[in-house]
């Protein structure tokens, strides 16, 4: 995996290296701020480490939804909930792509992090939930479309007594390229009952490498219909996009309602929908 200069800089300056805390425990016990600072710098300690009784109980990324990025930016929050008998001083989390953050076999080619401190809601004497706000930039943090897919979530927390816990992979989360439809149309409209409705459109997917949307071929797309007055879509048929992402199919007009192309997404591409209401007379 290639490592860009910006990733190396993030590794040095941000929380991407959880491998730090090398201060003697006696010093750390008097300096939780120092412990937090050391957690966000490069060191030689093991990547996963626990000192004392600080515990991370929950990490939530983007409200448990996929992080979907088009050709611009996407801002999302990570919430880290942690406990320590002395109270929580701070916590942090970020996303990284690769296999290892260890100094000895470092292998990461993507990082989504922030230089800003977390804001912590200390809702009890022993527990807190800290919010970390991250903005992902297509073409920068996400400099290559190959970075789409499963990312690792690293997290750490520091108690008021400078006890701490750090882990490179607390959980995994999906970072996906945005999908969309262009030129979607169901027509003619209005249409006489029993006549043919032609539904067309092009499925596209964002490229982080070139910052454009391109046709997404060989993908299964559902044609769905919702009768006027109903709140539920039903699948009429499933068709596959051409090599350029183009889709075309026909149905028979029966009642007023909304036609929809629904793409369910996959491990590297987001869900996409397109709608058109057709008046049947």
For 110-136, how does the pLDDT look when each residue is reduced to its tens digit (9 = 90+)? Answer: 999 999 999 999 999 999 999 999 999
Which of the listed residues 144, 176, 208 is the one where a domain comes to its end?
176
Cα distances from 134 to residues 8, 12, 151, 155, 156, in angstroms, run: 18, 18, 14, 14, 16
Closest residue by Cα to residue 237 from 220, 253, 254: 220
Mark whether 146 and 251 lie in a shared domain.
no
Q: Which residues of the chain have pLDDT under 70?
A: 1-30, 38, 40-47
Which tokens in the block code for residue 157? Answer: 């927390």
Supply the pLDDT for residue 197.
Answer: 98
Supply the pLDDT for residue 35.
Answer: 74
Which tokens in the block code for residue 40? Answer: 């966000």
Mark whether 172 and 223 lie in a shared domain.
no
Q: What is the pLDDT of residues 31-47, one digit of tens each?
A: 887 777 767 653 344 56
Supply the pLDDT for residue 7.
Answer: 40
Kindly report the pTM of this predicted structure. Answer: 0.86
Mark whether 143 and 25 lie in a shared domain.
yes
Q: Looking at the 3D structure of the chain, how many domains does it have?
A: 2
Mark whether 127 and 191 lie in a shared domain.
no
Supply the pLDDT for residue 48.
Answer: 86
Helices and strands, counts by H and E, the chain: 3, 18
Supply the pLDDT for residue 38.
Answer: 65
Closest residue by Cα to residue 80 from 40, 49, 120, 115: 120
Mark whether 103 and 119 lie in a shared domain.
yes
SS3 category, 6: helix
Which of the listed residues 148, 176, 204 is the one where a domain comes to its end?
176
Supply the pLDDT for residue 12.
Answer: 33
Mark whether 184 and 151 lie in a shared domain.
no
- Listing DSSP states for 7-43 in one string gives HHHHHHHSTT------S-HHHHHT-HHHHHHHHTS--
Q: Which domain holds residue 118?
A: 5-176
Closest residue by Cα to residue 148 from 268, 237, 15: 268
Mark whether 13 and 143 lie in a shared domain.
yes
* Alpha-carbon gap, residue 127 to 85, rounded angstroms: 8
Mark whether 106 and 221 lie in a shared domain.
no
């Amino acid at each position: 995996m290639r490592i860009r200069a910006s990733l190396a800089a993030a590794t040095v300056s941000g929380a991407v290296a959880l491998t730090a805390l090398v201060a003697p425990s006696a010093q750390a016990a008097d300096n939780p701020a120092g412990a937090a600072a050391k957690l966000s710098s490069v060191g030689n300690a093991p990547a996963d480490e626990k000192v004392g009784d600080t515990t991370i109980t929950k990490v939530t990324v983007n409200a448990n939804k996929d992080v979907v990025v088009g050709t611009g930016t996407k801002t999302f929050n990570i919430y880290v909930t942690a406990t320590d008998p002395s109270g929580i001083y701070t916590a942090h989390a970020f996303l990284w792509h690769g296999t290892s953050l260890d100094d000895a076999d470092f292998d990461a080619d993507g990082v989504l992090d922030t230089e800003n401190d977390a804001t912590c809601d200390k809702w009890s004497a022993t527990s807190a939930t800290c919010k970390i706000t991250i903005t992902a930039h297509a073409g920068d943090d996400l400099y290559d479309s190959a970075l789409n897919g499963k990312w690792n979530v690293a997290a750490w927390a520091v108690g008021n007594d400078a006890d701490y816990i750090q882990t490179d992979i607390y959980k995994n989360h999906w970072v996906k390229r945005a999908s969309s439809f262009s030129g979607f149309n169901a027509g003619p409209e209005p249409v006489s009952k029993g006549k043919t409705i032609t539904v067309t459109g092009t499925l596209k997917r964002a490229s982080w490498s070139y910052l454009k949307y391109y046709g997404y071929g060989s993908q299964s797309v559902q044609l769905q219909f919702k009768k006027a007055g109903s709140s539920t879509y039903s699948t009429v048929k499933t068709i596959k996009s051409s090599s350029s992402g183009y889709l075309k199919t026909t149905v028979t007009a029966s009642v007023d309602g909304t036609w929809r192309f629904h793409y369910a997404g996959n491990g590297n591409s987001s869900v996409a929908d397109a709608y058109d209401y057709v008046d049947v007379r």
